[in-house]
Amino acid sequence: MENTKKTLPESGKPPEDRYLPGDPIPVPEAIETNTDSAWAMWQDSTQEPRPTFDETVPMTLEEMPPIRKR
C-alpha cells in the first residue's frame, strides 16, 4: 500500500503559495516581431513533408549478388 500522506519539506515548514486569491493570473511574455514571416513559417510547418529520396525499384533475383555462407 502506498503512503498517501503529504510530506513536508526538510525545513519542516509547509510549502508557500506563490499567489494569493485575487492576484492576476500570470501570462507568458510573447514578443511578436514580424507576423508575415511567422505566418509563413507556420504554413510551412503544417504542410505534408516532401519526400527527399528517389523512387526505388526492388532488385530482381538475377541481379542480386551471391550470399556468402559463414
pLDDT in tens, 11-55: 666 667 677 888 888 888 877 777 788 888 888 888 887 777 778
| CA within 13 Å, CB half, 52 | 1
**Is 60 exceeded by the pLDDT of residue 2?**
no
pLDDT greater at residue 18 or residue 61: 61
* Residue 4 pLDDT grade (very low, low, confident, very high; cuts 50, 70, 90): low
- The answer to whether 7 and 15 are in contact (CB under 8 A) is no
In whole angstroms, give the CA distance from residue 53 to residue 13: 61
CB atoms within 10 A of CB 19: 9
